Amino acid sequence: MMWKLLLSALKFGLVGLIGMGIDFLLTWIAKEKLHINKFVANGIGFTVAVFNNYILNRIWTFANKNPQVLQQFLHFLTISCIGLALNTLFLYLFHQKLKLNFYFSKLLAIGMVFVWNFSANLIFTFNDGK
């Protein structure tokens, strides 16, 4: 059981790294190339990464076959939005208050929110009553 949980956490983390790459790339494009406000750019990157992460986690991490895809996605999205709020709070604190580099602050925030996202999705999104 513990190994299965650790494997799921590892897979979730790998999916998260892919999502982080998507998030960072789109945030950078929106902020640096399109000159969109950095916090709006952060939301754009986050949104696209959420869709990607849901699909990969459903198929690969949790091998979930729940037919209630819309309901399950809404759970995932809700957890992700709470994660975004936490991420944005940490990003604001690290970048605006501690004056750390924006992208380093973003990396720290993502790391801190990982535990919330994995635990909440394991318990609420992909457990199917197990």
Domain boundaries, given as residue ranges, for the chain: 2-125
The SS3 of residue 92 is helix
Taking 80 as the threshold, does the pLDDT of residue 128 lie above it? no
pLDDT tens, position by position, 74-115: 999 999 999 989 988 999 999 999 999 999 998 899 888 988
Q: The pTM is what? A: 0.78
Token pair for residue 96?
């605006």
Contact 53, 16 (CB under 8 A): yes
Q: Is the dihedral of CA 96, 98, 101, 107 positive or negative?
A: negative
